[in-house]
Amino acid sequence: MKVEDGSKFAERIKVFLSDIAAGKTVVLIANNQSILDEYAELKRLSEESSKKGKPEEMELEISKRFGRLLSYDDKSIEKLISKYV
């Protein structure tokens, strides 16, 4: 769906970080389709990772890409990851 200012949002998406969003309504708003496409790809990768037993390398890549999607810089992403790995 497109909003008047050109923003787009995905309706009825299944959040791939469902443990964070359990019981909550999540609206993903983006200013271009590429952001929604990247989110969909991360969701697909997350599902693939789950099927493979969540290998660390794959989970780290998903985390980094999701951080970039949220506009974190690489230094901040690495700092956050280092707290949990």
Higher pLDDT, 39 or 6: 39
The residue with greater pLDDT, 61 or 21, is 61
Q: pLDDT-derived band of residue 14, with 50, 70 and 90 as boundaries?
A: low
Residue 78 confidence (pLDDT) above 70: yes
In tens, the pLDDT along 31-55 reads 888 998 998 899 899 999 999 999 9
CA-closest candidate to residue 64, choices 82, 44, 37: 82
Q: Which two tokens stand for residue 77?
A: 């992403």
What's the whole-number mean pLDDT along residues 54-67? 92
| CB environment 19-36: b (16+ within 10 A), e (fewer) | eeeeeeeeeeebeeeebb
What is the pLDDT at residue 65?
Answer: 94
39, 69 in Cβ contact below 8 A?
A: yes
